[in-house]
Amino acid sequence: MKRLFLGAAALAALVLVGGAQAQQPINVKIGIITDMSSLYADIAGPGSVAAARLAIADFKKLHPNVNVEILVGDHLNKPDVGTQLANQFIDVDKVDMLIDTPNSGVALAISQVAANKNVIYIVSGAAASDLTGPKCNANTIHWTYDTWMLANGTGSALVKTGGTSWFFLTSDYAFGHALERDTMAVVKASGGNVIGAVRHPLNTNDFSSFLLQAQASKAKVIGLANAGGDTINSIKQAAEFGIVAGGQSLAGLLVFASDVNALGLKTAQGLVLTESWYWDMNDANREWKKRWDAERKDPSKLPTMIHAGVYSAILHYLKAVVAEGGAKDGKTMVAKMKSMPTDDILFGKGTIDPNGRKRHPAYLLEVKKPDESKYPGDIYKVRATIPADQAFRPAKDSGCPLVN
């Protein structure tokens, strides 16, 4: 665990400049609970810390009286470790807010801790839509994306373009089941049908047996309701078995820019997927990526939507802190954040639903062919923009008790 203090020299300079304004100093402590060392370290992890630093630096330009300290904890993808970290951050380190957490299992556990101890918790990294569904609470905001958004974006788009019959390869745990359930619902609602599904254990190395079953099903679309290494292995081996060449198409239901990098464009080309942010979409994002690169100090990495979400969420939180005149308890801060419209350079204008669901547009993307990619990181074509009001589940359908 690292304590990251902002440079003392920079602080001194800001005190000199800001002194004339004679504003009350506001101190805020943020705990980032993420995966620093394992399979989700590239989609969140150190990149999320870099994004948090950028948000704080940008906010301090406007509000030099706000001092933010960041603490980082590694949850090792274990719900018990995540819960213990959250407790320690809240009880011992007295943090005002917790953020990030790739891994739905860990995020659901921390969400409970945040509610019990009345601290605000913003999820950028995890996917399960249950966080704003039956398991929602008044202390949690789900920021960047969720399984409903992924299913809705990719599922309905593919059914509309002729992918009317589906076969699922599903990761056999909470996240995979949620993604499969949400996507099946969308496929059926859009007029498609589900032919079959096979559940594979988490971290499966060889998918050839499952792919043969999918191939034999003659379904037009093979939906990959899995993530990370499992998705990469499925896609790599699907190419080998000539699945796409044989006329079936693959739907990556949760694919990050870093996964596309791991596959290479030659293998991943043509894959359709949904994300809520892509670095190369406009000048503001490209400009932000340069600053993120400088902070991340690893030219081989790409910023993901989770990183952008951490940036955007911290900015909005700090705005609410200033509006409240200081970092208050979790329920107060969440209520304040819900009452204010969101606005930042990465996601544009947005809102937060009563169930804690942050709402912004999502993008249907297609992986470029190798000869279409002009520079490293040039990986997606934007096929469609899904407006904010359609991109996420309507609050009234969420089953969240906070919605009346």
Partner 1 sequence: MFEFCLPAILGGKCIPSAALFGQLLIGLINGSFYALLSLGLAVIFGMLNIINFAHGAQYMLGAFTAYLLLQLTGLGYWPALVIAPIVVGITGIIVERTMLQWLYKLDHLYGLLLTFGIALILEGVVRNKYGSAGLPYTLPDSLRGGQNLGFMFLPNYRAWVIGASLVVCFGTWFIIERTRLGAYLRAATENPTLVRAFGINVPRMITLTYGFGVALAAFAGVMAAPIYNVSPQMGSELIIVVFAVVVIGGMGSILGAIFTGFGLGVIEGLTKVFFPEASNTVIFVIMAIVLLVRPAGLFGRRA
Residue numbers 43-62 binding partner 1 by CB under 8 A: 43, 45
How far apart, in whole angstroms, are the C-alpha atoms of residue 328 and residue 332?
A: 6
Degrees to nearest 5, angle at CA 18 with 56 and 326:
55
Q: Which is nearer to partner 1, 79 or 173 (CB)?
A: 173
Alpha carbon 24 to chain centroid, angstroms: 34
Task: Determine, following the binding rule CB under 8 A, whether residue 88 of this chain makes contact with partner 1.
Answer: no
Output the CA torsion sign for 309, 311, 312, 318: positive
Q: Identify which range of 185-193, 263-271, 284-292, 316-324 contacts partner 1 by CB under 8 A.
A: 263-271
- Which among 18-26, 34-42, 79-87, 378-386 is the span making contact with partner 1, rule CB under 8 A? 34-42
- By CB under 8 A, the residues from 330 to 389 that bind partner 1 are none
Residue choice 164, 165, 237, 332 for contact with partner 1 (CB under 8 A): 237
Q: ∠259-264-270 over CA atoms, to 5°? A: 85
Residues 187-216 that bind partner 1 (CB under 8 A): 198-201, 203-206, 208-210, 212-213, 215-216
Q: Which two tokens stand for residue 248?
A: 């079936």
Burial classification of residue 39, based on how many CB atoms lie within 10 Å of its CB (0-12 exposed, 13-18 middle, 19 or more buried)? middle
CA distances from 386 to 141, 154, 277, 359 (A): 21, 11, 12, 11
Decide: is 264 part of the binding site for partner 1 (CB under 8 A): yes
What is the C-alpha to C-alpha distance for residues 154 and 350, in angstroms, rounded to an integer? Answer: 22
Of 61-69, 110-118, 132-140, 294-302: span binding partner 1 (CB under 8 A): 294-302
# residues near partner 1 by CB under 8 A? 46
Rg (CA), the chain: 21
Is 242 an interacting residue with respect to partner 1 (CB under 8 A)?
yes
Find the part of the chain contacting partner 1 (CB under 8 A) among 19-27, 158-166, 241-249, 305-313.
Answer: 241-249
- Considering the complex, what minimum distance in angstroms separates the CB of residue 368 from partner 1? 14
Cβ atoms within 10 Å of 189's Cβ, excluding its own:
12
Instruction: List interacting residues with partner 1 (CB under 8 A).
Output: 37-43, 45, 172, 198-201, 203-206, 208-210, 212-213, 215-216, 228-229, 232-233, 236-237, 240-242, 246, 256, 258-259, 261-264, 266-267, 298, 300-301
